[in-house]
Amino acid sequence: MPHTAIFDIGKTNKKLFVFDEDYHIVFEKNERLPETADEDGDSCEDVHLLADWVRSSLGEVLQLPDFQVKAVNFSAYGASFVYLDEQGKILTPLYNYLKPYPENLQKKFYETYGGEGKLASETASPVLGSLNSGMQLYRLKQEQPAIFQQIKYALHLPQFLGWLVSGQCFSDLTSIGCHTNLWHFEKNDYHEWVRLEGIFEKLAPIQTSDIRNPKSKIGTGLHDSSAALIPYLACFSKPFVLLSTGTWNIALNPFNDTPLTHKELAQDCLCYLSWQGKPVKASRLFAGHEHDQAAKRLGLGDLKKHGEEDEAYLVFMKQLVERQVVAIKLILTGDVRKIFVDGGFSKNTIFMSLLAEAFPGMGIFAAEVAQASALGAAMAVHEYWNPNPLPKNLIETVRK
């Protein structure tokens, strides 16, 4: 039976999965790697440790006699660049996207290129400092010009992982299109500032998100939020919203490609690019983080185990869901009749019942899909390893 190996690299957990042709996970490896610090003392991913783990883990799987690995692909968090020189040497730490951004530099950038409102609108990127990964490149050019000159290619993390295995450098639309400040959504091309600052030459050629080299069967890699959408788009053809919950609750509407308004941007809306290069309107809420803080504040431990007798918790949840409803309505279109909720909040009965009350004419579903990002990365390379048609029953849903 053919198999595919998929790396799913999160900020905390580094995972390797092997899927069989029925998309069952038949092997799983999970690791937490210690962080390191950059030159300013800010914590960051240890990119050398990560590279060693990816290479050794793949080598281990390829040696296992039970699996016939036909293709490899990658899903990883976005907003993070790895800089390679001509010889493939890594030039800097893998800077953390939460690293504070210098106010004077940010001011200079936006003043030069038309202001925050104009640029945010054109690039579908709220002003987020280092979380706009293009700003990391701009900062490197301004603060460390000698290192900037040495860069042959700046690769987003998923594409760096692909390079580790294939030796080929490519850029990918799902990474370019996630609040990077790099992409002009209306023109469907890099924003003009990217060329004016000499950054375009540092970016690898854009490759589609399926396979960069059919002979080697090594995928291009995907931004994890875009990868997580793929199983839903494969299984459901009628318009829906996916509410992916965790530290951030991200509501994604792949059927809404209208340009972002200034009002939407001000309320933390943004656009992603799907693996097929289509805009996906999204809104964010820091809900999981706030939920954890409330748990500590209310002394409730694991909030999922608590019921309606916790009055303070109920008050908190009603306020949280009210804000979640506002965030969803920002991206909702009239043709959407279903909202799928995956991740931690899908198991929270109070959250789900309050959400269902808020959208009485809508189907609210708790969606069960094991490892959605990894599954999406496997499906993106389906034709190169799997002789069967894509299965339509990969997602279990329970109506609330």
pLDDT score, position 1: 87
Q: 342 with 387, same domain?
A: yes
Please state, in angstroms and rounded to a whole number, the distance separating the CA atoms of residues 283 and 253. Answer: 9
One domain, residues 66 and 180: yes
- CATH code, 311: 3.30.420.40
pLDDT of 344:
85
Q: Are residues 163 and 171 in contact, defined by beta-carbon separation less than 8 angstroms?
A: no
Domain finish residue from 177, 192, 223:
223
Across the chain, mean pLDDT equals 92
Name the phi and psi angles at 57, rounded to 5.
Answer: -65, -40
Decide: 218 and 71 in contact? Cβ < 8 Å. yes
For the chain, the domain total comes to 2
173 and 248 in a common domain = no
Q: Are residues 148 and 272 in the same domain?
A: no
Residues 389 and 269 in one domain: yes
**What's the pLDDT at 215?**
62
- Residue ending a domain, among 187, 204, 223, is 223
Compare 396 and 22 and report the one with higher pLDDT: 22
Q: Average of pLDDT values for 164-174?
A: 93
Beta bridge partners, 36, equal 44
Q: Which of 169, 195, 223 represents a domain boundary (last residue)?
A: 223
Contact 314, 371 (CB under 8 A): no
- Are 174 and 274 within 8 A, CB to CB? yes
Q: Is the pLDDT of residue 124 over 80?
A: yes
Q: Which of 167-171, 197-201, 369-373 has the lowest mean pLDDT?
A: 369-373
Token pair, residue 23, equals 């998309």
229 vs 279: CA distance, rounded Å: 12
Phi (first) and psi of residue 274, to 5 degrees: -70, 170
Q: Is the same domain home to 58 and 8?
A: yes
Domain that holds residue 100: 2-223
Helix (H) or strand (E) holding 196: helix 192-196
Residue 271 phi/psi, 5-degree rounding, is -125, 140
Would you say 204 and 82 are in contact if contact means Cβ atoms under 8 Å apart? no
For residue 308, is pLDDT > 50? no
Domain co-membership, 27 together with 176: yes
Q: Dump pLDDT digits (tens) for 21-31.
A: 999 999 999 99
Dihedral pair phi/psi, residue 257, rounded to 5° = -115, 20
Q: Is residue 230 domain-shared with residue 219, that is, in the same domain?
A: no
Separation CA 340–CA 180 (nearest Å) = 26
Prediction pTM value? 0.89
Tokens of 284: 């964010």
Cβ–Cβ contacts within 10 Å for residue 334, how many?
A: 6
Residues 233 and 218 in one domain: no
Q: Are residues 357 and 229 in the same domain?
A: yes
User: Do 15 and 69 belong together in one domain?
Assistant: yes
Does one domain contain both 391 and 279?
Answer: yes
Q: What percent of the chain has pLDDT over 90?
A: 75
